Amino acid sequence: MAKVRIFVKMFPASDFQLKHIFFGLFRKRIVPLPEQKYCSMKTKAFAGNKGPGIKSDCYVEMEITASGGLDIDLKSRVKAIYGNQIIQLVHKIFSYFDIKNAHVSIEDSGALDLVLAARIEAAIRKLMETNKEFLLPQLEENMSGTAKDQFRFSRLYLPGNSPKLMINAGIHHPYGLILDLEDAVAPDKKFEARFLVRNALRNLHFYGAERMVRINQGERGLDDLDFVIPHHANMILIPKCESAGDVAAVDEKIEVLRQTHGIKHPVWLMPIIESTKGVMKAYEIASSGLNVAAMAIGLEDYTADLGTRRTNEGGESFFARSMVVNTARAAGIQPIDSVFSDVSDMEALAENVKRSKALGFDGMGCIHPRQINVIHENFAPELAEIEKAKKIYLAFKEAEKKGLGVVSLGSKMIDPPVVKRAVTTIELAINTGKLSKDWMKN
């Protein structure tokens, strides 16, 4: 049997690190330096997506090596134009994490820098335990706050691990873009999706849409907040909410992160009711905090919990939807309706929106850009509503000018709630382009 002589140069190290070093010597595996902490002694990791149909994304495989510097294998259709830029970004990220030796394979499908950086960092963080984050400079427009009562006619769900659906979503002008970390992301992709959502919040063009994130349930959702609150998310959607405690846990974690990272603008909450228990606790949830700006209902999970099938007519969910509307109004927040899952039937969607509006909802979710205009058109006030609202408002202004305490229109007395509703109708008409901002001058 061959003899092996081992020379050991001593340096400060824990028992675990010493065992790791000897294990690495005998197995001929890479041994990390003691100041680096690697996850479960892994040396290989991957992140991202590849294959037919994948666009605006990349797939990264990396292996920590003992020597040889950074060996980068880049496959990209745009390598001739952007290859040097991509390789420079890789070097910058690895230098930031102080990784000097590694083999990196990148299969690029037209990924933007925000995507490349997210995928590379996710792969690194699967190997290395670190609190460091590689952050591209944030767009100034993505650091603004939003109003609690701003219009939320439409909110478009975007899978949090699919950059091709994010990149140009804002050009369809939904009122909100939801970067979804929950149902739209496979369990084994949730970790790397956090980095993509974080970078999207910083560097994606939202075209004025409210920046929303749907987090996961429970502890995983609270951990999601570390990746979104420091980067100026406007609203957090809390899925499968069943109690005020669910809201409080999220709100408390957000407040800690806001204070830690100096986030000045408020972060609004939209709990989503998706179970029979949630429906029965709706008012408790709606009134659970000052940062709750809206409450939504998710009918796919609700009808499953109810043990029935969801229909276009919505008879099976009438009670639940009415509960959400009434409790939201009682709490002074916006009631938001569920998504309509058939993206091919625009006529059925239009009818659903009209029913939603008649029930008292202020908006609804959508899962495809083609649904946005239909939702806007049918939530917007009709011509007769606008004309009536204008007359009420003008009568109110005239009475105000004369110092009258009572407003009348013809032979009818106009109560303050009616005036308030008229003002809201006019604002909606202006916001949806159905009425000029200068309508009083015409």
Give yes or no: residues 152 and 228 share one domain. Answer: yes
Q: pTM of the full predicted structure? A: 0.86
Give yes or no: residues 103 and 190 share one domain. Answer: no
Residue 35 domain-assigned? no
Concatenated DSSP letters of 310-373: --SS-GGGHHHHHHHHHHHHHHTSEEEEPP---TT-HHHHHHHHHHHHHHT--EEEESSTHHHH
Q: What is the predicted pLDDT for the residue at 411? A: 66
Q: What is the predicted pLDDT for the residue at 39? A: 52
Residue 214 domain-assigned? yes
Q: What is the predicted pLDDT for the residue at 402? A: 77
Which CATH number is 107's domain given? 3.30.230.10
Give yes or no: residues 317 and 418 share one domain. Answer: no
Residue 23 domain-assigned? no
Residue 18 domain-assigned? no
The number of domains in the chain is 3
Give yes or no: residues 354 and 413 share one domain. Answer: no
Residue 238 contacts residue 272 (beta carbons within 8 Å): yes
Give yes or no: residues 48 and 197 share one domain. Answer: no
Give residue 182's domain range: 140-379
Give yes or no: residues 196 and 121 share one domain. Answer: no
Provide the residue-wise pLDDT of the chain in tens; the chain has 442 residues.
444 444 444 434 444 344 343 334 333 333 343 344 545 457 899 999 999 999 999 999 999 999 999 999 999 989 999 999 999 999 999 999 999 999 999 999 999 999 999 999 999 999 999 999 999 999 999 999 999 999 999 999 999 999 999 999 999 999 999 999 999 999 999 999 999 999 999 999 999 999 999 999 999 999 999 999 999 999 999 999 999 999 999 999 999 999 999 999 999 999 999 999 999 999 999 999 999 999 999 999 999 999 999 998 899 999 999 999 999 999 999 999 999 999 999 999 999 999 999 999 999 999 999 999 999 999 888 899 899 999 888 888 888 787 776 777 776 778 888 888 888 889 888 888 888 888 887 6
Q: What is the predicted pLDDT for the residue at 398? A: 80
Radius of gyration (C-alpha) of the chain in whole angstroms? 27
Q: Exposed e or buried b for every residue in 214-239, given b needs 16+ CB within 10 A?
A: bbbeeeebbebbbbbbbbbbbbbbbb
Give yes or no: residues 257 and 227 share one domain. Answer: yes
Residue 21 domain-assigned? no
Q: Tell me how far apart the alpha carbons of residues 101 and 80 are, in angstroms, rounded to a whole number.
A: 25
Residue 123 contacts residue 61 (beta carbons within 8 Å): yes
Residue 19 domain-assigned? no
Residue 387 domain-assigned? yes
Give yes or no: residues 120 and 161 share one domain. Answer: no
CA nearest neighbour of 155 among 300, 298, 34? 298
CA pseudo-torsion sign 402, 407, 409, 411: negative
Residue 337 domain-assigned? yes
